[in-house]
Every structure is written in C-alpha cells, then in structure tokens.
Amino acid sequence: MKLFSSKKKEEDTPKTKSRGLFSRLTRTREGLFGGILSLFKSGKLDEEVLEQIEDQLLVADLGVSVSQKIVERLKEAAASGGTSTPDEARSILRDLMIDLLAPCEKPEITFFPDRPAVVLMVGVNGVGKTTTLAKLAARYKDSGKSVMLAACDTFRAAAIDQLQTWGDRLDIPVIAQSHGADAAAVAYDAYSAAAARNCDILLVDTAGRQHTHGDLVEQLKKVKRVISKANPSVPDEVWLTVDAGNGQNVLSQVAHFDEAVKLTGLCVTKLDGTAKGGIVFALADRFGLPVRFIGVGEGQSDLRPFNAEEFVDALLPELGQSD
C-alpha cells in the first residue's frame, strides 16, 4: 500500500474562483428557456403555442412526463386567466420547475465522531467521476474536514496518477496500489487507513464501467461488499456521476446502477457545456434521488451544491433578458 501526501498547495487563482451559475448554464438557458419565454411574449397561450412549448421541453431532455406536467399546468393557468401577461406565465413556470426539483436538494452528508464517512463514486466511463471527487475533496477540506482519497480505479493505467495529481494539488493523502490491483482490496485498505488516521471523510474513486456490462458491475458490487467488511455501516453514500450531455441515456444509467449498488445521490456534471441541462428535471421526476452536486466546469471550484431555486433562476432568464 502506498500512501501519498504532498506539501505544496496551489493557491486558488482568480480564474478558478467560482463565477455565477447563470453564466455557466448559458447553453441550456439559450437553447431552451429563452425560446419558451419568447413564446410567452408572443401573446396568448393557445393550443398551438403550448404545443411549441412542449416540443421545446422535449428537445431539451426534460422528458415526456415532465413536459406534459408543465404544459398541463400552463394550460390550467391559461384557462383560469392566470397567464394573461408573460410575467405571470413565467412565474407559473418558475414555481413549477422549483417544485419539481426542490425534493432533490440535499447536499449535506452525515459525519461521525468515531469513524470516517465514506462516499463511493460510481458511473460510466468519462463522465467526470474523478474530477468531481477531487472537487468534493477540495470542498470538504476547505470546510475544515480531514479528507482521504482512495484510488480504486485500478483498471485504467493513468487513473491512479490522475487522482494522485489531484491529491498533490490539494495536499490530501491518496491511498493507492499498483495498476491492476484488486479494487476491493484497495477500498478496504483505504478505509482502514482513514479510520486509523481519524479522517472525517474517505472519498472512493472507482473505474468507469458501462452499466450494461455484467462483469464490471459485479466488480463494483464487490468493492461495496468488501469495504463493508471493514465496517458494516459503510459506504454511507453511493453517488452516481452522470454527464448531463448524455441526455436521456442517463436515465438507464441511474436505473442500472441503482439496482446494482443502491444509489444515495447523483452528481450531474458538464452542465456548462451542454444544452441538455433539462435532464435534471427528468431525473428528479423519475427517480427522486437527491442531486447532491452539479459540475459546471473543469476547475477545482466548478462544483456547486444543488439548489433548486438557484438552478431554475440560472436557467430561466428574466423576461427582459430573453431576447
């Protein structure tokens, strides 16, 4: 077992400091909600306009069920005279969107005085698991927690180095073995090391795997099983990272991973680079799992705790801004 730790901490430069969520969600906002608000402005919400709104919602990956709910609600409001101005229509849409997402707001996790909390990060290849884990490590460290990382992606040759580079940058210890080692054994050792050092939190990186690949999913189950031999209460959290750009595909990823390892939360990444941010609504509607954090860039500070109101306000421009 290797225990890496480095002394040097890179200062946060102004470039890596967080910018407003509004500026990060431009593509989804412009691709979707700008168009809807223009439709609101065009006048009455008649059948034709509502159909166009539904089409826009579907294209933006909100999914059939959410799109229908929104259109039904707008239809009801229109029938009772509640959408006679574009502002009223926007406000109804905003409230409904917040109501859909609010049950998924739960960024906090439980810490324990006598043992590390354990978060197992899972997901398909390349969605941003390792980067998200590193951003989380930075966040917990900044809030005064002692953090340890476990390099349980022993599958991809460069994965251990990638996590180690983050560990060096953040001055956070990384527990790793060599490429090809048994990921479950690394997880077990990492928990023992984190417990021995009285760490507050152990963040476990795992290899990307297709949710449809039986053997790889079995290996992941083994990681979960073996770490629980070190302490039957862990892992406390199993979070699936999904790339928002994958659109509707993320729904089957969630279903498969949940069945295999019982998810306790989602991290939705790459919302900065996609017009498919509407998938967060489809996820909320279909699974109701907490959306813990959202990724809005590659930098260390580009991770936000998910907040329904903030998210909706970043997607839905004020009417004066939608032109």
Ligand X SMILES: Nc1nc2c(ncn2[C@@H]2O[C@H](COP(=O)(O)OP(=O)(O)OP(=O)(O)O)[C@@H](O)[C@H]2O)c(=O)[nH]1
Distance CA 96, CA 49 (A): 18
Dihedral-angle region of residue 179 (phi above 0 means left; psi in -120 to 50 means alpha; beta otherwise): beta
What is the nearest approach in angstroms of Mg ion to the Cβ of residue 150?
12
The window from 71-79, 112-120, 139-147, 293-301 that contacts ligand X (CB under 6 A) reads: 293-301
What is the nearest approach in angstroms of ligand X to the Cβ of residue 243?
8
Cβ proximity to ligand X: between 159 and 227 the closer is: 159
Tell me which of Mg ion, ligand X, none is bound by residue 123, counting a contact when its beta carbon lies within the kind-specific cut-off of 5 to 8 angstroms: ligand X
Distance CA 282, CA 39 (A): 22
Cβ proximity to Mg ion: between 129 and 135 the closer is: 129
What is the nearest approach in angstroms of Mg ion to the Cβ of residue 158?
9
Interior angle at CA 40, CA 34 and CA 42, nearest 5: 105
Name the residue whose CB lies closest to ligand X.
208
Tell me which of Mg ion, ligand X, none is bound by residue 61, counting a contact when its beta carbon lies within the kind-specific cut-off of 5 to 8 angstroms: none
Distance CA 38, CA 323 (A): 7
Structure-block tokens of residue 142: 């900044």
Answer for which of 130, 154, 219, 264 binds Mg ion (CB under 5 A) is 130
Structure-block tokens of residue 207: 């290899």
Distance CA 265, CA 104 (A): 9
Q: What burial class does residue 178 get, using C-beta atoms within 10 Å of its C-beta: 0-12 exposed, 13-18 middle, 19+ buried?
A: exposed
Which residues 260-279 are close enough to bind ligand X by CB under 6 A?
Answer: 269-270, 272-273
What is the nearest approach in angstroms of Mg ion to the Cβ of residue 129?
5
Q: Count of residues for the chain?
A: 323
280 binds ligand X, rule: CB under 6 A: no
Which residues 124-153 are close enough to bind ligand X by CB under 6 A?
Answer: 125-131, 153
The distance of Cα 56 from the centroid of its chain, to the nearest Å, equals: 23
Structure-block tokens of residue 191: 């928990």
Answer for which of 295, 307, 308, 315 binds ligand X (CB under 6 A) is 295
Q: Which residues bind ligand X (CB under 6 A)?
A: 123, 125-131, 153, 156, 159, 208, 269-270, 272-273, 295-298, 302
